[in-house]
Chain A
Amino acid sequence: MIVDPLIKTIPSEGDTAGINELYNDILNNPFARNIVFSSDMTSASITATINNTESESVVLAKVDSVVAANTGNARIMKGGLPYIRLHIMKDVKRDAIVLVPLALIVMLLVLKLTLGEWRSVFMPFSVVLLSTGICMGLIPLIGWKLSIITLLVPILLIAVGNNYGIYLVTKFHDICRKGKYIPKREIINEIIRSLKKPLIYSGLTTIAGILGLLTHSIIPARQMGVLAAAGVLAALIMSILLIPGFIYIRSKRTEGLKAPFLGNDVFKKILNPLAELIIRYPGHIIIYSVIFTIVLSSGMSLLKIETNQENYFPKNNPVRQASDIINRKFGGSQTISVMIAGDIKDPVIMRRIDELTRETEHTDGVGQVFSISQAVREMSKAVFLPEEESYDQIPSTRESIAQLFELYNMSGNYDDFSQMLNLENTRAHVLIKLSDPSNVVIKNVNNKIQTITKDIPAEVTTGGYAMIMADFARSIIKGQIFSLGFALITVFILLSLIFKSFRGGLTGSIPLAVSILILFGFMGFTGIALDAATALLSSIMIGVGVDFTIQYIWSFSNNIRNGLTYEESTRTSLRTIGRSIIINALTVMTGFSVLVLSGFSSIRFFGYLVLISIGSCLAGAIILIPAIIMKFRPGFVKADMNTLKKQ
């Protein structure tokens, strides 16, 4: 048996024979190949573990300075979870500093294009600014930390917070455009009278829906729920109080309002034909919507869950590149650890460890496995000849295993085992490195571990960062389903109360439910996985989708009760509130589109997904709901929702 340093001397540059010999030594050494040297001999790795004596950031700073002082001619990359965590923190801060102001600027421009004059733009904009300020101020005030999830709160407010203001301002514009002089006080009375209730109902329903996040098992998700609800409440209160105030103190008379770039003409060109289509073919629209939803939602079966934080980064990010190389050439940077506590020298336990090692080694997505049983096999190879039965086997007696350990003790450094076996031989550690740390692989490996260690006479604990992440994934799904279910039920109950009708609640919930189905189906088909960030999309959809629906139904109901026919109500509602809804959807979509510039892939995808989900909420509110009302003519739209009595 030979236990020796692999590299005794480093051959000089011209010593081809020496270099070749060293190459062969490395490639033939199972403890070096793909562990410290890649098998293509282009990369070498240094692995370090961080203990608890110093904070992670201090250790990383020290490592960085050592690396910076010793770069030489080689390209040096740093990866692994501590670096991933460090970069996530850095990028979250960068995103918060860059993306939030950018989203505000984009929103400002869209408002300018759709509302026209700057005064009107600043009304909803100031509400967004103030409510976002309140929300972000709450984070340190409560003592929470900015995380990748809470980062979404200001963005959510930019999306939802300006809704109420836009309705108020467009209503104001509608009144002004009637052309006759109306005293300011009356204008404000008219705005408040027609919009107060739908705004409050829509706001409260949104808050209730968002508070569904409180049932989530992931703490930042709950924090986001609280912050977003507080922000929406602030936006609602400020819209109702502040915007009429702004309108009142406008010095200029109101008649000569200039038409915006995307003025009524543009909207008319879209909305009038749409109204005619809905009036003529409501049945077709419903059937096509159902087919479209069913087809897209079938993609849900393909939905994946992503908890691998490496994928938060785009492929050209240095941390991602380092992780990719570690995964491809060195067995993987993320690990699952199996701790076995018992009499490790007991051959029954050792054989089970051996089985676990060999089974997991051949599992897809597993890069390398390290365990004490491999060392025992190696030692048996040193003691027995290949033709002997015991060669490359786990010995059958406790004494044999103990004596093999002693053999190694005498010849090698006992520290060689310290990662796999404790000094007293009462704890063994099987380290499984994952070359593909995806959720499926982790689940598979965990199943194997459970099966193999089921009746082992020892205490088995499975851990490691990859396992924590897998648990996190389960929490995301569970939290997602639970908070979505909670939100849908809440929205349904609230809408039923608001419309004083079960059918009204059901009808109002349709766009939201359809949008959720379409979104998850789309994610399944495109391979965008559910993760911590995308899991929160539903809250935004609730905020936006419910609002659109309430506004439309409310407006339609008002028109019907004012004596218009179903056809006329559809045309008028689409022209007035439909336009506001579209402006709203446009601001949200463009505001969110800045997320495409984020440093995180996951947030980027989130940006795309918002476009899909808001788009489907919009279609639900201004196409599907009008068609359903046209087709089925439900009684609740004729009821006076402003009083508690049924007509």
Chain B
Amino acid sequence: MMLFLPYFHISAQLPDADEIMDRGRELTLMGSLNANVNLLITEKNGATRNRTIAMTTKSYPGGLEKRLIRFLEPADVRGTSMLVIDNKDKPDEMWIYLPALKKTRRIVSSEKGKSFMSSEFSNADMSTPALSDFSNKHTANSGSADYWIIESIPVNDNVADEYGFSKKVSHIKKENYLVTKMEYYNFDDELFKTIEVRSYYPLSNGKYTIEDMAAINHSNGRKSEIQFTNLKENVEIDDSFFTIANLER
């Protein structure tokens, strides 16, 4: 009996995994945000692609999120704009406005877990996932160092399909409940992507938002890095901002 005591000892100390995830989520959840985003994609062979965009997002109750993106760099795509309606239970809606052609087109894609601007980040990585989509539990070595290591598994196949992975392992710093690393596993249970959060930006209300992160795709060796500058939190954005009329402005 004595042999099992140390185990019970540690196990008893571990807080509930859902609770940890929820605290981390609450810390980074925000209503709306205005920022400039720099996206750098580096190919395995060293070739790079750089995009700078201005992004405005607004979160609505029930998981709906709207995003408007305007390209700033490079010069030949400046003014190209995108409106994304990130629906909770149906496919995302996307419109893109091409100023040189003076055309707005709707983009339809049923592919879930789709990439954000062709980077290694998915659209889901750009928003805060709903807690109810996953069942969370501690991994074997969770809590042994300064981190909680929590495994999140989509509650059903549809959710897994939507997010595009079968398992996510999050490394959460014990002291502040902020996620520092996320590892994504594909449907063959192989690690295919790692996201490292390099820095958080402290917001005025005690919350945080990601400032700098990198995603590495292990299957093609490509790396995407994203940096947020000129962050403006909780800006008042009218719903009319997220319309096609505004997109073509």
Contacts from A to B (Cβ < 8 Å):
1-5, 8, 345, 382-384, 390, 395, 397-400, 402-404, 406-407, 409-411, 413-415, 422-424
A403 touches B100 (CB 8 A): yes
Q: Which residue of B lies closest to A410 (CB)?
A: B96
Chain A residues within an 8 Å CB radius of B82:
410
| Interface residue? B94 (CB, 8 A) | yes
Nearest first, the 8 A-B pairs at minimum CB distance are A402-B76, A399-B100, A400-B100, A403-B98, A411-B107, A409-B118, A414-B118, A423-B47
A383 touches B105 (CB 8 A): yes
Which of A1, A404, A415, A422 sits near B107, CB closer than 8 Å? A1
24 residue pairs A–B, Cβ–Cβ below 8 Å:
A1-B105, A1-B106, A1-B108, A2-B108, A2-B109, A5-B111, A345-B76, A382-B105, A383-B105, A390-B101, A397-B100, A398-B76, A402-B76, A402-B100, A403-B77, A407-B107, A409-B117, A410-B82, A410-B96, A410-B118, A413-B118, A422-B47, A423-B41, A423-B43
Chain A residues within an 8 Å CB radius of B111:
4-5
| Interface residue? B99 (CB, 8 A) | yes
The number of inter-chain residue pairs (CB within 8 angstroms) is 82
8 A Cβ contacts from B88-139 to A: 94, 96, 98-101, 103, 105-111, 115, 117-118
Q: A2-B109, A4-B109, A424-B49 are in contact. Are A411 and B94 (CB under 8 A)?
A: yes
* Complex CA–CA separation, A2 to B82 (angstroms): 16
Which of B48, B77, B94 sits near A424, CB closer than 8 Å? B48
Chain B residues within an 8 Å CB radius of A390:
101
Q: Mark contacts of B65-101 with chain A using CB atoms, 8 A cut-off: 1 yes-contact digit, 0 otherwise.
A: 0000001001011001010000000000010101111
B117 touches A410 (CB 8 A): yes
* Complex CA–CA separation, A409 to B71 (angstroms): 13
* Complex CA–CA separation, A281 to B174 (angstroms): 113
| Interface residue? B220 (CB, 8 A) | yes
Chain B residues within an 8 Å CB radius of A1:
105-108
Q: Mark contacts of B208-240 with chain A using CB atoms, 8 A cut-off: 1 yes-contact digit, 0 otherwise.
A: 000000000000100000000000000000000
Q: A1-B108, A384-B103, A400-B100 are in contact. Are A410 and B94 (CB under 8 A)?
A: yes
* Complex CA–CA separation, A395 to B109 (angstroms): 25
* Complex CA–CA separation, A423 to B222 (angstroms): 12
- Least Cβ–Cβ distance between B85 and chain A, in angstroms: 14
B109 touches A3 (CB 8 A): yes
A424 touches B47 (CB 8 A): yes
Q: Which residue of B lies closest to A8 (CB)?
A: B110
A411 touches B109 (CB 8 A): yes
B76 touches A399 (CB 8 A): yes
* Complex CA–CA separation, A410 to B114 (angstroms): 9
- Least Cβ–Cβ distance between B84 and chain A, in angstroms: 9
A407 touches B118 (CB 8 A): no
Other than the given A402-B74, A406-B77, A423-B41, 15 more pairs (CB < 8 A) read A1-B105, A1-B106, A1-B108, A4-B108, A4-B109, A4-B110, A398-B76, A399-B76, A399-B99, A402-B77, A403-B80, A403-B100, A410-B94, A411-B109, A424-B49
A383 touches B101 (CB 8 A): yes
Most B CB within 10 A of own CB, among A395, A399, A410: A410
* Complex CA–CA separation, A143 to B118 (angstroms): 51
* Complex CA–CA separation, A345 to B80 (angstroms): 16
Q: Which residue of A lies closest to B97 (CB)?
A: A403
Q: Which residue of B lies closest to A388 (CB)?
A: B103
* Complex CA–CA separation, A398 to B75 (angstroms): 10
* Complex CA–CA separation, A413 to B99 (angstroms): 22
Q: Which residue of B lies closest to A426 (CB)?
A: B47
Chain A residues within an 8 Å CB radius of B71:
406
* Complex CA–CA separation, A2 to B94 (angstroms): 11
* Complex CA–CA separation, A406 to B80 (angstroms): 8
A400 touches B47 (CB 8 A): no
A395 touches B100 (CB 8 A): yes
- Least Cβ–Cβ distance between B31 and chain A, in angstroms: 25
Chain A residues within an 8 Å CB radius of B96:
406-407, 410-411
- Least Cβ–Cβ distance between A379 and chain B, in angstroms: 10
- Least Cβ–Cβ distance between A439 and chain B, in angstroms: 35
* Complex CA–CA separation, A301 to B232 (angstroms): 80
* Complex CA–CA separation, A409 to B116 (angstroms): 9
- Least Cβ–Cβ distance between A48 and chain B, in angstroms: 16
* Complex CA–CA separation, A423 to B44 (angstroms): 11
B109 touches A423 (CB 8 A): no
Q: Mark contacts of B20-49 with chain A using CB atoms, 8 A cut-off: 1 yes-contact digit, 0 otherwise.
A: 000000000000000000000101000111
* Complex CA–CA separation, A409 to B74 (angstroms): 14
Which of B99, B106, B220 sits near A403, CB closer than 8 Å? B99
- Least Cβ–Cβ distance between B138 and chain A, in angstroms: 35
* Complex CA–CA separation, A527 to B24 (angstroms): 78
Which of A407, A409, A423 sits near B105, CB closer than 8 Å? A407
- Least Cβ–Cβ distance between A399 and chain B, in angstroms: 4
Q: Which residue of A lies closest to B104 (CB)?
A: A383
Chain B residues within an 8 Å CB radius of A403:
76-77, 80, 98-101
* Complex CA–CA separation, A415 to B111 (angstroms): 15
* Complex CA–CA separation, A561 to B168 (angstroms): 103
Most B CB within 10 A of own CB, among A3, A398, A406, A414: A406
Chain A residues within an 8 Å CB radius of B108:
1-2, 4
Q: A403-B80, A410-B94 are in contact. Are A383 and B47 (CB under 8 A)?
A: no
* Complex CA–CA separation, A627 to B71 (angstroms): 90
A400 touches B101 (CB 8 A): yes
Which of B48, B94, B101, B220 sits near A404, CB closer than 8 Å? B101
A423 touches B107 (CB 8 A): no
- Least Cβ–Cβ distance between A423 and chain B, in angstroms: 4
Q: Which residue of B lies closest to A345 (CB)?
A: B76
* Complex CA–CA separation, A3 to B115 (angstroms): 13
* Complex CA–CA separation, A4 to B49 (angstroms): 24
* Complex CA–CA separation, A345 to B76 (angstroms): 9
Chain A residues within an 8 Å CB radius of B117:
409-410
Q: Which residue of A lies closest to B101 (CB)?
A: A400
B94 touches A415 (CB 8 A): no
- Least Cβ–Cβ distance between A51 and chain B, in angstroms: 11
Chain A residues within an 8 Å CB radius of B41:
423
Which of B49, B106, B115 sits near A413, CB closer than 8 Å? B115
- Least Cβ–Cβ distance between A172 and chain B, in angstroms: 73
* Complex CA–CA separation, A407 to B77 (angstroms): 10
A410 touches B107 (CB 8 A): yes
Chain A residues within an 8 Å CB radius of B94:
410-411
Q: Mark contacts of B172-203 with chain A using CB atoms, 8 A cut-off: 1 yes-contact digit, 0 otherwise.
A: 00000000000000000000000000000000
* Complex CA–CA separation, A406 to B76 (angstroms): 10
* Complex CA–CA separation, A309 to B37 (angstroms): 53
Chain B residues within an 8 Å CB radius of A345:
76
Chain B residues within an 8 Å CB radius of A413:
115, 118
* Complex CA–CA separation, A384 to B102 (angstroms): 10
B118 touches A400 (CB 8 A): no
B49 touches A423 (CB 8 A): yes
* Complex CA–CA separation, A413 to B119 (angstroms): 9
* Complex CA–CA separation, A390 to B107 (angstroms): 19
Most B CB within 10 A of own CB, among A1, A390, A422: A1
- Least Cβ–Cβ distance between B192 and chain A, in angstroms: 14
- Least Cβ–Cβ distance between A485 and chain B, in angstroms: 48
Q: Which residue of A lies closest to B69 (CB)?
A: A410
A399 touches B220 (CB 8 A): no
* Complex CA–CA separation, A390 to B102 (angstroms): 12
- Least Cβ–Cβ distance between A398 and chain B, in angstroms: 6
Chain B residues within an 8 Å CB radius of A383:
98, 101, 103, 105
A400 touches B107 (CB 8 A): no
* Complex CA–CA separation, A4 to B111 (angstroms): 7
Chain B residues within an 8 Å CB radius of A423:
41, 43, 47-49
- Least Cβ–Cβ distance between B116 and chain A, in angstroms: 9
8 A Cβ contacts from B116-166 to A: 117-118
* Complex CA–CA separation, A414 to B116 (angstroms): 11
- Least Cβ–Cβ distance between A136 and chain B, in angstroms: 45
